């Protein structure tokens, strides 16, 4: 089934948003590296790659249905990171923004009668719940560590042990 024009434009916008998310996570990795939190930076880099995979999922769906996605303008993120929790709070806010966009896409697909988008959008709804929960937990744990340098370094090591092949997309 051909994608309705309005939905096609919104899906292209989502591709752009996913690529912008990848850029945001990459910038957050850079910020954390500048704080010598290389484990957390590694976690952010893995997250950046996962966001590129998400963009590819939308692209594949569109191409499979005869559409040509159009990538919009992606501006560099403007972030203020002076401590680790700043980075993860920015990540959480960004994930919440992406989640809202996915829900809007779902509503649009429903209003356009596009049943073929359902499996893709259901996958993303589930994925976003997981993303927000994971980043939210990290934010809460960082807040618990407060000024405890040892606790921060333990979290840095833990997050640096992330295996992208295991925690990445389960297709």
Residue ranges of E strands in 8-148: none
Annotated binding-site residue? 18: yes
Annotated binding-site residue? 80: no
Distances (CA, A) of 43 to 11, 30, 63, 79, 169: 27, 11, 30, 17, 14
Phi-psi region of 146 (alpha: psi -120 to 50; beta: other; left: phi over 0): left
Annotated binding-site residue? 95: yes
- DSSP state, residue 147: T
Annotated binding-site positions for Fe cation? 18, 51, 54, 95, 128
Q: Per the annotation, where are the binding residues?
A: 18, 51, 54, 95, 128
């Amino acid at each position: 089934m051909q994608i309705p024009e309005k939905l096609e434009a919104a899906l292209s916008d989502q591709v752009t948003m996913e690529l912008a998310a990848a850029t945001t996570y990459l910038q957050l990795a850079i910020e954390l590296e500048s704080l010598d939190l290389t484990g957390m930076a590694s976690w952010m880099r893995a997250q950046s790659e996962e966001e590129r995979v998400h963009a590819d999922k939308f692209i594949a769906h569109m191409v499979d249905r005869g559409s040509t996605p159009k990538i919009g303008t992606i501006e560099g993120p403007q972030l203020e990171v002076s401590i680790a929790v700043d980075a993860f709070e920015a990540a959480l806010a960004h994930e919440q923004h992406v989640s809202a966009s996915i829900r809007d896409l779902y509503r649009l697909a429903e209003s356009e009668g596009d049943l073929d988008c359902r499996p893709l959008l259901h996958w993303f709804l589930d994925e976003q719940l997981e993303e927000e929960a994971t980043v939210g937990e990290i934010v809460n744990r960082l807040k618990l560590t407060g000024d405890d340098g040892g606790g921060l370094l333990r979290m840095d090591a833990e997050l640096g042990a992330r295996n992208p092949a295991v925690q990445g997309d389960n297709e």
